[in-house]
Amino acid sequence: MPTAKEIVGKFSELKTLPHVAIKVGKLANNENSTMSDFEEIIKLDPVLVTRLLRLVNSPYFGLVQKIESISKAVVFTGMKQLRNLVAIESLRGMFKGGVEGEFSPQKLWLHSATVAILAEMIAKRIFGQEAEDVFLAGIIHDIGLIVEFQIVGDQLREACLEFKNGKGTIIECEQRCIGTDHSEVGYLLAKGWNLPDEVLKGIKTHHYTEKKKAVSSMGSILQLAEFMAAKMNYWPVPGPIEPLPADLARHVKNMMANYKIIIRDVPQEMEKAKELYAADE
Amino acid sequence: MTVDPTFDSIFDDLIDGDDSLYSFMEIIRPLMADCSIFLQSDSGNELLSEPSFVPPVDKDELIAEARRTDSLVSTVLTGGEFCYVMLIGKLNIVLLVVFSKDFAGEKGRTLFFRNTLSLALIKQEHAALVADKEQALKEINVFKQQHGKLIEDNYRQYNLNQEREKEYARKLESEIAKQTAELREANVRLEEISRLKSDFLANMSHELRTPMNAIIGFSELLAETKLDAEQADYTRTIVSSAGSLLSLINDILDLAKIEAGKMELENVICDLPEVVHNVTAMFKIPARDKNVEITCEIDDRIPRKIIGDGNRLRQVLINLAGNSMKFTEKGRIDIKLDYEMRVGRQIMVRFSVQDTGIGIPADRVEAIFDKFTQADGSTTRKFGGTGLGLAICQQLVGLMGGTLKVASEYGKGSTFYFVLPFEEASETMAAPAPEQAPEHVPAESGRILLVDDNAVNQRLASIIIAKLGYEVEVAGDGLEALELLKIHDFDLVLMDIQMPNMDGMTATRKVREIEADPQLRRQYQSLNSSQDPLPVLGLTAHVRKEDEEACYAAGMNGFLTKPIIKKKLAEILAEKLAGRQ
Amino acid sequence: MVDLGWDRSFALEQSGDDEEILEELLDLFRDSSASDLAKIKNGVADRDSVAVADAAHSIKGAAASLGIEGIRRVATDMEKNGREGDLEKIPDLLVKLEALLVEVAGIK
């Protein structure tokens, strides 16, 4: 059975993160980059520019002024945010495809977008974190499934079937049928794309882990968000919902009032983020 | 797609059903300290404030009724205690409260119950509001941090851009410095080349003229020895050819000088009428021989004296007139100076040389200014000439500030014309400085030839002239004068007009004619020593304008009225002799 | 009779303020004018107005140089007539001229 590395390797041959996204990633990490550098790179892809500007101007970002240029976008949202948006726009294309047996990339996109929104809300409102990277992590956390879908499609379908029939957690089923799981694969892929460490860790640990995660860690937040999304019928793969680990559950109980408010505001936030959900044209 | 979630729908298996009961009990119990409280959620969970106290009451029935009627149910218990039951719709909890029998009156109990309930609910909401506020504050905090980071980043970028600009400016400076250095170098090289050209021209000039002069000089000496007819013929040919060659060399060197930018024009006071008449006089005889009339006309409005290069101007006019002479078999040649206009301090003068010669075909008009070309190849054979003349004229006119143009009709004639700007020489200006001579020649010395047929005048004038410090010789008429010009080197001639044998005008014309012919010129000592024409002053008794013009037309450079006044003579001699070696 | 009209000071000035030179010039004048006078008489005889005019011109010039106004004037008239080809008045003018020349001859 192939290792995660092999799978990722094969996938990288077929598909890479568009080079714009990679360059932008490098720029965001570079002390000596300015908004004009950003603009130079991004405007090579006019479709991307349009998409980005539409995103930035959507109510989700709550900006008062209308942004007409990338350099202005950088000023108002910051480089990191823009990098994330570029990544998101670039990834969107990967989540194509209708319902195929037990796995639907399209559904996965909706799930990922929901998780991203929820995770951001939790990170900001409960833990007071600046949440751009959490958002990105939300979008990308299950990308491993896409990779598996492309490279070891049959095995994935088998794993999904088993999961649906209650033969264990999705992770366990994947391990059994494929030899690795989507959190490992996703981690390696994201690593290859030079995404921030926090994001990488989040992807790796967003399911049950042996080692205890801090409640405020990205992995925990993702897990909680995933749980909530699944309960809202935005599941990645149909099947039984994995319960929360004990300390996460305890945290929710202690913060009941807060979580009640979050849930109250979720529809509103999702409405604002309609732009994100928009199907790939 | 949208599923409106509720807290319970998501976290129901997380939370005990009891939690909501517990939290509500926490809130309401302190508010109703003297009472027994019983809560039941709609899922059947129950909570009792004082588990030991179980009043004899049929709870279920009361609760069912409260649920059913959704209003306050009150009853009296067997012990006389009062029991109130109500459904709290918001929480889906039924609240049962038992008051002791002496707890206020009916109204009081009801009021107390309702108010306490309201208070409890408010308190519960309050908890939610507090949570809301906490979240809002947390979000605000996050925004503040993000905002701070954005500003920092923008500041960082600002600094970067400043740096970049400075770097750019530095690069630009160094580029400019480099280019300036390169330009300077190029300049130095160009100056070097220019200097080399000058040296070359000077050298060539000298190198070419030296042997030429030897050829000419010795062939002339040869011509003066005893030769037989054949030898004399050959010698004449040599002399003539040498003359032509020298002419050609001079033309070439002139042209080279102009093209190297080394030609410098003089900026001295020059007498326009003198120049023009001089030129006309030169061609009077050849014109007459050919039966062609040559005239000159100067517009009244043109000032007499202007600042310019008289010699070069003369050169141009001689060239043009010479061409006209060459190519005109019959008719006339008119040299005209017209006053065009005044522009500021300058006067624009239009020079034109018009002839009724053979003309130039339209398609050859451009080409005639080219070096070495003539209107057509055959003209060289028929008319001679090197073809350099017009090229030189064009350049000289250009240097003087004009453009040489031609209007011509084949078979009818041609007009060469150009317009030059001149500044009028004011009265107060000094006479032209003498040419750079190794020895500065003072104006009060020179050899003067006095030509007059009257003994008294001869004597008188001689005395005066001698008194002024000049040397003087006397001739009785034009013929004698010419002979003396041959054998002596005079600097100036005072020519009486009215004389027997050959009068003054004729003599002067003759002098000019000789000057126009390089070969003849060489035979006259007085005409050989300088390129400039020999100054000839007329002595006339009459002072009318016609007389003046007649003098100039003959080629004279000026005139004096008789009787000679010492002061006037001194002035004019000084003027005309200045600068003559 | 006609006045000689001699401006002696002018003549002296022309001679460079030298009495000896003045004397010399006057001698020269006498000689040259005598010769010119003869030419005029011959010219009249030969009906050669040009010769008359030329000789008159010569006298005129010399007289003017020495400031002898009277002679100059007569000579001018003679020259004018001669130039116009008119010999009628010449004899009369000749008389005047000769008289004036005699006067000059007597100058010291």
At CB < 8 Å, which residues of chain C contact B?
13-16, 21, 24-25, 28-29, 31-32, 54, 57-58, 60-62, 64-67
For chain B, list the contacting chains (3+ Cβ pairs, <8 Å). A, C
Of the listed ranges A174-178, B55-59, B269-273, the least confidently predicted one is B55-59
- Within 10 angstroms of residue B471's Cβ, the number of other Cβ atoms is 14
Q: Do C64 and B564 touch (CB under 8 A)?
A: no
Q: Do B146 and A129 touch (CB under 8 A)?
A: no
B415 membership: H or E segment, kind and range: strand B413-424
User: Chain C contact for B563, CB < 8 A?
Assistant: yes
Q: Which fold has domain A4-277?
A: Hypothetical protein af1432 (1.10.3210)
User: Chain C contact for B523, CB < 8 A?
Assistant: no
- The two most distant CA atoms of chain B are separated, in Å, by 187
Q: Which domains does chain B have, with CATH numbers?
A: 7-103 (3.30.450), 268-424 (3.30.565.10), 447-577 (3.40.50.2300)
| Confidence at B441, pLDDT banded by 50, 70, 90 | very low
Average pLDDT over residues B511-517: 87
Report the percentage of chain B scoring pLDDT > 90.
Answer: 18
Q: Do A31 and B128 touch (CB under 8 A)?
A: no
| Chain pair B-C, CB pairs under 8 angstroms | 55
Residues of B in contact with C28 (CB under 8 A): 455-456, 459
Q: Which of B457, B463, B500 sits opposite C62 (nearest CB)?
A: B457
Q: Is residue C35 part of a domain?
A: yes
User: Chain B contact for A260, CB < 8 A?
Assistant: yes
Minimum CA–CA partner of C30 in chain B: B456
| Confidence at B407, pLDDT banded by 50, 70, 90 | very high
Of the listed ranges B4-8, B275-279, B449-453, the least confidently predicted one is B4-8
And the tokens for B34? Answer: 């003297």
Q: Do B19 and A253 touch (CB under 8 A)?
A: yes
| Confidence at B425, pLDDT banded by 50, 70, 90 | confident
Give the mean pLDDT of chain B: 82
- Within 10 angstroms of residue A154's Cβ, the number of other Cβ atoms is 10
Domain of C89: which CATH number?
A: 1.20.120.160
- Say if residue B335's pLDDT is above 90: yes
B187 membership: H or E segment, kind and range: helix B106-224
Q: Is residue C3 part of a domain?
A: no
Structure confidence by residue, pLDDT tens digits, C44-66: 888 888 889 889 988 988 888 88
Residues of B in contact with C31 (CB under 8 A): 455
Q: Is residue C14 part of a domain?
A: yes
Helix axes C69-84, C19-46, angle to 10 degrees: 30
Average pLDDT over residues A250-268: 85
- Per-range mean pLDDT, top range of B89-98, B251-260, C85-94: C85-94
Q: What is the pLDDT of residue B93?
A: 82
**Among residues B158, B135, B147, B155, which one has the least CA distance to residue A63?**
B147
Q: Is B70 left (phi over 0), alpha (psi -120 to 50) or beta?
A: left
- Sign of torsion, CA B356 B357 B358 B359? negative
- Sign of torsion, CA A190 A194 A196 A198? positive
Structure confidence by residue, pLDDT tens digits, B191-234: 888 778 877 877 787 788 788 878 877 887 888 788 898 998 88
Q: Is residue C34 part of a domain?
A: yes
Residues of A in contact with B27 (CB under 8 A): none
**Counted domains in chain C:** 1
Q: What is the pLDDT of residue B338?
A: 93
Please give, rounded to a whole number of angstroms, the shortest distance from the CA of A79 to a CA of chain B. 8
- Apex B262 CA angle, B259 and B264, nearest 5: 115
Cis peptide before B563 (omega within 30 of 0): yes
Q: Is residue C1 part of a domain?
A: no
Residues of B in contact with C54 (CB under 8 A): 498, 500
User: Chain C contact for B131, CB < 8 A?
Assistant: no
Q: What is the pLDDT of residue B178?
A: 95
Q: What is the pLDDT of residue B83?
A: 84
Structure confidence by residue, pLDDT tens digits, C68-106: 889 999 999 998 888 888 888 888 889 989 988 888 888
Q: Please state, in angstroms and rounded to a whole number, the distance separating the CA atoms of residues B226 and B219.
A: 13
Minimum CA–CA partner of B3 in chain A: A232
Q: Which of B457, B459, B464 sits opposite C61 (nearest CB)?
A: B457
Q: Please state, in angstroms and rounded to a whole number, the distance separating the CA atoms of residues B485 and B483.
A: 5
- Say if residue B418's pLDDT is above 90: yes
Average pLDDT over residues B44-51: 69
Q: Do B7 and A270 touch (CB under 8 A)?
A: no
Q: What is the pLDDT of residue B430?
A: 54
Please give, rounded to a whole number of angstroms, the shortest distance from the CA of B70 to a CA of chain A. 26
**Among residues B148, B149, B144, B163, which one has the least CA distance to residue A33?**
B163
Q: Please state, in angstroms and rounded to a whole number, the distance separating the CA atoms of residues B97 and B83.
A: 6
User: Chain C contact for B500, CB < 8 A?
Assistant: yes
Average pLDDT over residues B29-34: 83
Structure confidence by residue, pLDDT tens digits, A106-143: 888 889 989 999 999 999 999 988 877 898 899 999 98
Q: pTM for this one?
A: 0.51
Q: Do B19 and A75 touch (CB under 8 A)?
A: no
Select the residue from B458, B460, B462 to test the C interface by mutation, using most C Cβ atoms within 10 A.
B460
Minimum CA–CA partner of B501 in chain C: C54
Give the mean pLDDT of chain A: 84
SS3 content of chain C, % helix, strand, coil (to 5): 80, 0, 20
Helix axes A256-272, A105-121, angle to 10 degrees: 130
Residues spanned by the domain of C95? 8-105
Strands (DSSP E) along B138-282, which ranges? 268-271
Select the residue from B452, B454, B456, B543 to test the C interface by mutation, using most C Cβ atoms within 10 A.
B456
Domain positions in chain A: 4-277
SS3 content of chain B, % helix, strand, coil (to 5): 55, 20, 30
Reduce the DSSP state of residue A61 to 3 states and report it.
Answer: helix
Q: Which of B453, B459, B464 sits opposite C58 (nearest CB)?
A: B453
- Say if residue B14's pLDDT is above 80: no
Q: What is the pLDDT of residue B533?
A: 86
Q: What is the pLDDT of residue B188?
A: 93
Average pLDDT over residues A233-250: 83
Minimum CA–CA partner of B14 in chain A: A249
Please give, rounded to a whole number of angstroms, the shortest distance from the CA of A174 to a CA of chain B. 26
Q: Please state, in angstroms and rounded to a whole number, the distance separating the CA atoms of residues A206 and A122.
A: 15
Q: What is the pLDDT of residue B581?
A: 47
| Confidence at B388, pLDDT banded by 50, 70, 90 | confident
Please give, rounded to a whole number of angstroms, the shortest distance from the CA of B119 to a CA of chain A. 18
And the tokens for B64? Answer: 């069912």
Q: Please state, in angstroms and rounded to a whole number, the distance separating the CA atoms of residues B68 and B62.
A: 10
User: Chain A contact for B165, CB < 8 A?
Assistant: no
**Pure H helices in A15-59:** 19-29, 35-42, 46-57
Structure confidence by residue, pLDDT tens digits, B146-185: 889 888 888 888 898 899 999 999 999 999 999 999 999 9
Q: Which of A78, A228, A270 sits opposite B10 (nearest CB)?
A: A228
Q: What is the pLDDT of residue A281?
A: 45
